[in-house]
A and B are shown apart, each in its own frame.
Chain A
Amino acid sequence: MGRSGGGDDIEGWNRALCSGRVVAFCPNNHEVHIYKFFGEKWERIHVLQKHDQIVSGIDWSIKTNKIVTVSHDRNSYVWNQEASEWVPTLVILRLNRAALCVQWSPKENKFAVGSGAKTVCICYYEQENNWWVSKLIRKKHNSSVTSVAWHPNNQIAQLDLSFTWAFGVRWSPSGNTLAYAVVAFCPNNHEVHIYKFFGEKWERIHVLQKHDQIVSGIDWSIKTNKIVTVSHDRNSYVWNQEASEWVPTLVILRLNRAALCVQWSPKENKFAVGSGAKTVCICYYEQENNWWVSKLIRKKHNSSVTSVAWHPNNILLATTSTDGKCRVFSTFIKGVDSRDSGLNFFPWKGSGSGASGDVKFGEQIAQLDLSFTWAFGVRWSPSGNTLAYAGHNSMIYFIEDVGSSPKAQNVALRDLPLCDILFVSEKMVIGVGFDCNPMIFTSDETGLWSFVKFLDERKIEPSSSKYGSQLSEALGKLYGQSKGANSDTVESSRLRGGAHENCISCIIPLRKPGESVVRRFSTSGLDGKVVIWELDNSIGIPQ
């Protein structure tokens, strides 16, 4: 039987390897399970138990039949199969942080380990002493090494970049069949990087360099395949793909403060930009002059506009702002929008504003005063009937029937606030934020929204306190007593085992064409990671 593939990341939880009909993976704990396919089903044949913390990397060498495992406990074991047992050999890596990834070299005489100690360990077998020696590459890395890859010549370990922040992530329209083919994001600087997934790993294919300051918002239109970027330099560029290059077109926004967020409209003929200048720019393409024109909504906002969201009818725009309010505006533009597209949304406006019934550009339809704190992450439900946004006071607000008789629900969160939300279906919302863990909210038959659970099930060790050592130390000082989590048990571990280690700032859906319910989405955060999540069938999505 041939080998089917190398290390494959599944949802960031398990590391799995396929060697014909045998699989080795870590079920998100400190063990490694090996399963074999017998006839019709999978049976567990071995459990490798030696690590103390989650096993973060596994690699199985083809020719020499050795398994190497690395773990957050900063150790590595090389497992040899003797008779029917797997026997571990400790490899002292000399790390003071978790090991994150491992790979055998092509000749399988060395393996590379990436770690959170900003080092890479190259380990090789010393015959005389009958042990594995580790040599460290300490230089150059400024942060955790997230993945390693060997060049076929066995000599150069080509190391992946370690980003400090991944700012805005957008997915390309194509390539949702096998893997997530292309992603564009800003690695906390003034560029936009586009990566493509070739078979087994990510490769950077384009770098879009035009902005002078950090790129704060990116959106990639599905049908027209255009990328719009906005930046703190108060400019916006629309990028068109010509041949194999991305060509930018400047859009003059007429802002005197940074642009903060951007979104293409559903018909992709307009895009909205929120800014720190308390304005929202609606930009559309003028065919005659072959350029993008920007119209400003200057009224109403008292502070920075943090997030914008288009209603499915391509006319209404919801905005959230740091003045705590969520507003809905009309962005009807003569010549761009057709007259009858927005009519059915304004039943209460019908009699007042004349026969045509269309609402002027920039007119505020509704203002929601539910939160007294900064508001983020506004989104419409797929039908446009429900609006939801997150407040910085650990609340999430759901407003039904915005068009006719708005009914608001305030859901208080137990933990830290959310930064962004996503409507997976009409009745299910996923929120992400400072808890580093996506939260599921659903609406029941009566229309009542509530928190269901966290998406990332982490193992919480019984000994450590609920909040992790850093917070419990602080709380311990506050309460002036020695808590249960005293200095002996306060290891360097925080709540580990989760996909994200820092605030999640952004959540984007990965839509399969023709699918109305979102089953896959990506989250990106301040830890520099982009994680792809798939809602499996155990989580029923109410529609």
Chain B
Amino acid sequence: MAEGFVDDENLEAIVTRIEQKSRKIESLLKQSKPVEALKTALEGSILKTRDERCKSANWIVVHRAIMAIKDVDAMLSYLDPEYYDILMKYLYRGLATGDRPTCDQCLKIHEKLTEKAGLGCILRSLADTVNTV
């Protein structure tokens, strides 16, 4: 039952997929749909790979979507609960950057997400050392 990890040949495929996602998100943001953009960014984010470049590429895409969110409550009510854990992991990655605007935004979302999803969500993002973002 262990998760299989992808080998190098498929890395290119993953990077292509991320680029496609990035373009889609840009267009969604232009249409002022930040919440949908975030959902698109989080979809397929559980990358079955240990490659740091893929993770970084995905992080850039998710980061763009996170920074574009203005109404956090609306975003959380729209987002499916299955994405809470993965969003929490990205929030911690954002907090780890130390960059002021990123951290402010991540903290804002963190507060609301914790209220909505509970402490279990935080625990899962901390405890899972295998599926990291």
Contacts and interface: CB of A to CB of B under 8 A. Distances in A.
B2 A412 contact: no
B21 to A, nearest CB: 25
Contacts of B118: 413-415
A391 B123 CA distance: 11
A394 interface: yes
Interface stretch (B51-59, B70-78, B125-133): B125-133
B117 interface: yes
Interface string B93-133: 00000000000000100110011011111011011111100
B1 interface: yes
A414 B128 contact: no
A417 interface: yes
Interface string A509-540: 00000000000000000000000000000000
Given A394-B120, A414-B118, A372 B1 contact: no
Interface in B1-54: 1-2
A372 to B, nearest CB: 4
A408 interface: yes
Contacts of A467: 119
A373 interface: yes
Nearest to A367: B1
B16 to A, nearest CB: 28
B2 A395 contact: no
A466 B2 CA distance: 37
A368 B124 contact: no
A393 B125 CA distance: 8
Consensus secondary structure, chain A interface: loop
A372 B131 contact: yes
Which of B107, B123, B128, B129 is the most central at the interface, judged by chain A CB atoms within 10 Å of its CB?
A: B123
Interface string A358-375: 000000000011101100
Interface string A385-421: 0000001111100000000000010001111110000
A83 interface: no
A414 B123 contact: no
Contacts of A394: 119-121, 123-124, 127
Contacts of A479: 107, 110-111
B128 A415 contact: no
A370 B114 CA distance: 24
Nearest to B118: A414
Contact of B107 (A370, A373, A480): A480
A527 B4 CA distance: 42
Contacts of B2: 369
A480 to B, nearest CB: 7
A478 B117 CA distance: 18
A302 to B, nearest CB: 13
Nearest to B126: A393
Contacts of B131: 372
Contacts of B117: 414
Nearest to A366: B1
B120 A413 contact: yes
B124 A393 contact: yes
Interface string A77-107: 0000000000000000000000000000000
Given A392-B127, A475-B114, A415 B1 contact: no
A372 B120 contact: no
Nearest to B85: A412
B119 A415 contact: yes
Contacts of B129: 372-373
Contacts of B114: 475
A417 B120 CA distance: 7
A413 B119 CA distance: 9
7 contacts: A373-B127, A373-B129, A394-B124, A395-B120, A414-B120, A475-B111, A479-B111
Interface of A: 368-370, 372-373, 391-395, 408, 412-417, 466-467, 475, 478-480
Nearest first, the 9 A-B pairs at minimum CB distance are: A394-B120, A414-B118, A393-B127, A373-B127, A394-B123, A372-B130, A413-B120, A369-B1, A393-B124
